[in-house]
Amino acid sequence: MKFLLCALLIALASAHEPPGLFEYTKCCKIQISAATTQFIDSMTKLEDECKQELGEPEQGKPPKFPCFHECVGNKTNMINADESLNEDKYRSFITTQMATEDYQKAVADAIATKCIEKVNSADGSEESPDGCSETAMEAFHCASKELINACPADKQDNDEHCVHFREFINRDFKGKGPQPSPQTVSK
């Protein structure tokens, strides 16, 4: 698996449930805007729809994270029929919906460009063991990671959990074997 998007997701309810994709402001000490709250609420609804559509993972099996992210990517129209990234929709999603705080808006277009390049440079033919494309997972991982990293240094929460979380999301898991448990980043 190329990335561990679930590591970006602090609000994990359990190891067998896809986490909240868009809770990337938790380790940044800012007053959360109404726009951020609305965005998280709207994405939580999409996440819930995807969880219902995919159903519970088989007993003892990990969640189908690539399939979950592919579902969310399809619902947000960021994934084309050929499973490639719809660059215009992705850029718009980051700049007009995901980047809700001023510090995020200032770097949103650069983040979109960086993530589009990263996703397009990945081997698009790779599928997860579940048969789902990893394009959406890579795209969400990149944008979330970059938005987390955009938090100004003087606003970063430096408690142990957040320090470990930032270290964890900045690791490259490609080819590194087993990935750490998502519980290591849940609080």
Question: What is the tens place of the pLDDT at every residue in 137-148?
Answer: 999 989 989 999
Are the beta carbons of 33 and 101 closer than 8 angstroms?
A: yes
Provide the pLDDT for residue 169: 85
Strands (DSSP E) contained in 15-78 are none
The conformational region for residue 66 under phi > 0 = left, psi -120 to 50 = alpha, else beta, is alpha
Identify residue 170 by its one-letter amino acid code: N
What is the reported pLDDT for 105?
A: 94
Q: What percent of the chain has pLDDT above 70?
A: 74
Determine which of 148-152, 166-170, 176-180 has the lowest per-residue pLDDT on average: 176-180
Domain 5-12+30-52+63-185 has CATH 3.40.50: no
Residue 107 CB-density burial (10 A; 0-12 exposed, 13-18 middle, 19+ buried): middle
pTM of the model: 0.75
* For range 40-67, the mean pLDDT: 85
Q: How many CB atoms lie within 10 A of CB 17?
A: 16
